[in-house]
Structure 1
C-alpha cells in the first residue's frame, strides 16, 4: 500500500508515529510500576493517534485506491465514544491510586461497543453477504458522518464536565483533611483538562466553520491543532505521571488519600455539641504539642490526639474557626513564622529553612499561605518591618 507523502500527510504522520511511540512507553511504564494512570493515558494517546489516522491516510491517497479504501471504510479508526470515558477514568486514576473499575463503570463503554457492533454489521453486510458496497454506496466514511461526529463531541463534553467535577471534589476534600493540600492538587490535572476543553472548543468552532463534516474540506487545520494539543498532553502527561506517583507516595504513604473520605461527612455537618470546649482543646493541643510542625499532618492525626473521630475534628475546625483544615493548620504555621521574624531568626537562616521548621513542605506553599494570612509576601512583610 503506497503512502503519498504530502505536506499534510507527512505532518500528521509525525504526530501519529510519536503518539504510537509514547503509547508504548506509557504502557511499559504503567505495567512496570503498576501505575493505572499511565495505562489509561496510554489508551488515550492510542485513541488520539487513531483519531488523526483517517485524515493522515486520506491525504496520503488511501481513499482513492481499492484495497486501502476498504481499510479506511471498514476499520473504525475514530473511537469518539470511547475517548470520553477514558479521559474520565484517567482523571480518577491519577487522583486516586486505589481507583478500580466497578461493574457499573462498564456501562460507560456501552456506546462505544454499540458503534463497534454497527461497524461490524456494515462490514459483514457489504463484504461477506452482498459482496458490494451497500452501506457504503455513497462512498463516505462512516467515521466522518455528522451524527457520529456530533455524538462524539457531546460525549467528550459530558465526560470533560464529569472529570472537572471529580477534580473539584478531590480539591475540596484535600483542603478538608490534610495540611499539605497544595502538594497533592496536581496542577497537571488542571492543564490537562484545560487542553481537552480547548480541543472541544476547536471542534465546535470547526463544526460551525465547516458544517459538511463528511468532506475533507479545510479540516486539516483542525486536525493539526488537535495533534499539537494531544502531543502536549502526551509529553506532559508522561513527565507528570512520574512526578505524581512520587508525590503521592511521599505525601500519603502513611495516610488515607483525601478522595477516599466520604464527601457527605464534611459537606453537611450537624451542629456540634459543646463547640467552645472542643475549640479550646484543639487550640491548646496545637499550641502545646505544636502539631503544625508536622508537614504531613492530617485530620486523622489530630483526631487520634483528641481521642475522637476525623468527622468531629472537621466540624470543630469548620464551625469553630470558619476555616478548612488545611488553612487552619497553615495559619498556625504562619504565626510560628512571624514569631521567628520577631526573634530575628530570618537574619541567621533562609526563609525556606524557617518555613520547613514550621511545617511547610515547600517554598511555594509557604509563600501562598503567608500572603493569604497577612496580605503580603514574606519579603514584602520583612521589608515593611525594617
Structure 2
C-alpha cells in the first residue's frame, strides 16, 4: 500500500487513528453503562474521523493512484447531512432525561439517506451499468461539490442553533426547579457547543478565503483545526460523565416552542394562564405568605439540594402553582429565590458575633449553599460586593481592624 507520510498526511493520520480509538471507547462506554449520550458522541466522533479521510489520503497521494482514487471518489466520507443531526441528538440526549428516539426523529436523517442513495446510484451506474466514469468524468470527488458543501454548512448552522436552544431551555428549567442550579449546569455541554460554534466560524472564514472548495488549495489548515477540535471533543466527552436531572418534554414546565421570556413564566399545563387568573389577589398574597413562611420560619433554604417539588410538597401545593407565585409574586426564578434567603442568612450571621468563630465558607455551607463559587456569585448578585469585601465593610463600620 502506497501512503506518502509527509507532514500534512501524517498529522491528519494521527487524528484519524485517535478518532477511531475514541469511537470504540465511547461506544463501549455507552453500551456498558447504558448511556445513550456516549453512543451518540461515538457516532459524532466517527463521522468527524471520516470527514478528514479524503484530505489525509489526498495529501498522501491516493487521489493520484488507482485503485485508491476510485475508492475515494465513490465512498461518501464527508457526511455533511448526517453529522449535524447527530450533534443535535447528542446534545438532546445529554440534557433531556425524557429523550427517547421516536419515529418522527427519523425525518432528521432523510437528507443524509437521500445523499447515500444518490451515492449508491452513481456507483451502480458508473461501475456496474456503464462500466465507465460517467458521473466522475470531470475527475472530481462529488463530496466536494459546491452545492453539497454549502448545504452541509447550512445544515450544521441550523442544528447548532437547535442545540443551543435546547441548552438554553435546560438552563431555564434548571433555574426554575432546583436551588443548586450552578452545580448541575454542566460546563462540558457549554464547552462542547462553543467548540462547534468555533468550527462553524472557521468554516465560514475558509469559505471566504478559499471559495474553490473542490480544490485542495489551503484547506489543510481548516482540516487541521477541525481535527484538533473534534479531538478535544473526543477526550473531554469521554472523561466527562453527566446525568441530567431534567426532562424537557411537555410534562415539564416548558414547551419547546417558547422563547426564554415565555419560559420564565410558563408551567406544565395548557391551561396555566386560566389557572393563574383564577387566583384572586387575596389568595395570591396568602400563598406568597405561606411560601415566605417556609423560608423564614421553617428554614427550607438550608437544604442544599432543595427542589421546587420539595417546597411544593412541604406546602401541600402543586409545583406549577408554587412556580407561578415565585415568578410573578417575587419576580424571581426558584433558584434565585432560594439563594436570596441563603444570602440573607449569611448577612445575618456576618452582622452577629459569630463570624470570628466561623469561616466564610462554613457560614455559606450552613446557610444552604453547596459550593464556594455558587456562594460568591449569589452573594455578589444580591449585595454587589464579594463576601470578603462585605465582611471588611462590616468590620470598618464596627471599628474593627482586619
**Which range, TM-score by smaller chain?**
over 0.9
Q: Distance in 1 between matches of 2:98 and 2:183?
A: 19
Q: Deviations over 1:253-275 (max 9, x none)?
A: xxx65776131584274344321
> How many equivalent residue pairs?
376
Q: Distance in 2 between matches of 1:302 and 1:176?
A: 12
SS for the counterpart of 1:81 is coil
Q: Partner residue of 1:342? A: 351
| Residue segments in structure 1 that go unaligned for 5+ positions in a row | none
Q: Partner residue of 2:376? A: 367
Offset at 1:348?
Answer: 2.1
Q: Deviations over 1:118-160 (max 9, x none)?
A: 1000111111111110111111001111111001100000000
1:239 partnered with 2:239: yes
Offset at 1:238?
Answer: 1.6
Q: Partner residue of 1:184? A: 184
| Residue segments in structure 2 that go unaligned for 5+ positions in a row | 256-262, 267-271, 396-402
Q: Partner residue of 2:159? A: 159
Q: Partner residue of 1:34? A: 34
Task: Please show how residues 78-97 of structure 1 align to structure 2 within 5 Å.
Answer: 78-97=78-97
Task: Please show how residues 1-386 of structure 1 align to structure 2 within 5 Å.
Answer: 1-240=1-240, 242=241, 244-245=242-243, 248=244, 252=245, 257=247, 261-263=252-254, 266-267=265-266, 269=273, 270-271=276-277, 272-273=279-280, 274-386=283-395
Q: Distance in 2 between matches of 1:208 and 1:100?
A: 39
Q: Distance in 2 between matches of 1:69 and 1:258?
A: 47
Q: Distance in 1 between matches of 2:95 and 2:308?
A: 19
Q: Distance in 1 between matches of 2:234 and 2:342?
A: 38
User: For the Cα contact (< 8 Å) 2:72–2:141, is it kept in 1?
Assistant: yes
SS for the counterpart of 2:68 is helix
In the TM superposition, structure 1's runs of 4+ consecutive aligned residues that sit over 6 Å from their partners are none
User: For the Cα contact (< 8 Å) 1:29–1:35, is it kept in 2?
Assistant: yes
Q: Deviations over 1:12-58 (max 9, x none)?
A: 11111111111111111111111111111111111111000100011
Offset at 1:224?
Answer: 0.9
User: For the Cα contact (< 8 Å) 2:85–2:159, is it kept in 1?
Assistant: yes
User: For the Cα contact (< 8 Å) 1:74–1:123, is it kept in 2?
Assistant: yes
Q: Which moved more, 1:185-194 or 1:316-325?
A: 185-194
CA change 1:322–1:179 in 2 (3 A) is same
Structure with a larger share of its residues in helix:
1
Q: Distance in 2 between matches of 1:23 and 1:98?
A: 25
SS for the counterpart of 1:138 is coil
Q: Distance in 2 between matches of 1:62 and 1:348?
A: 73
Offset at 1:205?
Answer: 1.2
SS for the counterpart of 2:99 is coil
User: For the Cα contact (< 8 Å) 1:36–1:97, is it kept in 2?
Assistant: no
Offset at 1:350?
Answer: 2.4
Q: Distance in 2 between matches of 1:125 and 1:257?
A: 48
User: For the Cα contact (< 8 Å) 2:351–2:394, is it kept in 1?
Assistant: no
- Normalising by structure 1, we get a TM-score of 0.94
Q: Deviations over 1:57-77 (max 9, x none)?
A: 111111111111111011110
Q: Distance in 1 between matches of 2:354 and 2:131?
A: 86
Offset at 1:319?
Answer: 1.2
